Amino acid sequence: MARLLEMGDLVVVCPEGTTCREPYLLRFSPLFAELSDDVVGVAVETAMFYPTTAGGLKCLDPFFYMVNPRMCYTVQFLEQVRTAVVREGKVPSADMANLVQKKIGDALGYSCTMLTRKDKYLMLAGNDGVVRKVDGKCSSPPAGRTNN
């Protein structure tokens, strides 16, 4: 990502907090603040019937999409945040990530958390949310155990 940013005139999208359907945002990675001079937060809100869960039957997802005749997406571009202060050593990158998370959370009316995607899947599905291929079959590690 750093190499692409050095080339200039690029838009880089860092999807953060996107794995959650509840009104809260998962913790943002500070990587974007370390690699860029300016960040424009984009708050994307979706409104649709989506009854699946982390451990649910994903084969039913196409049917749930069909019962959504009018999905609604609202996109709000927020004010630019100067992140160059992170590379200048004036502000820690984690603090900058928290600031951008708060701005997006406020725009959506969501609460910000320090939970990661991995934390979320451990609570909901009993695994870290990563599907691994073992002996030609895809599987998740047993509940409470992760294979790193």
Specify whether the CB–CB gap between 39 and 100 falls below 8 A: yes
What ranges do the domains of the chain cover?
2-115
Strands (E), 57-129: 72-82, 111-112
For the segment 27-43, what is each residue's pLDDT rounded down to a tens digit?
Answer: 888 888 888 888 888 88
Burial 54-83 (b: 16+ CB within 10 A, else e): eeeeeeeeeeeeeeeeeeeeeeeeeeebeb
pLDDT digits (tens, 9 = 90+) for 98-136: 999 999 999 999 898 888 877 777 777 777 666 666 776
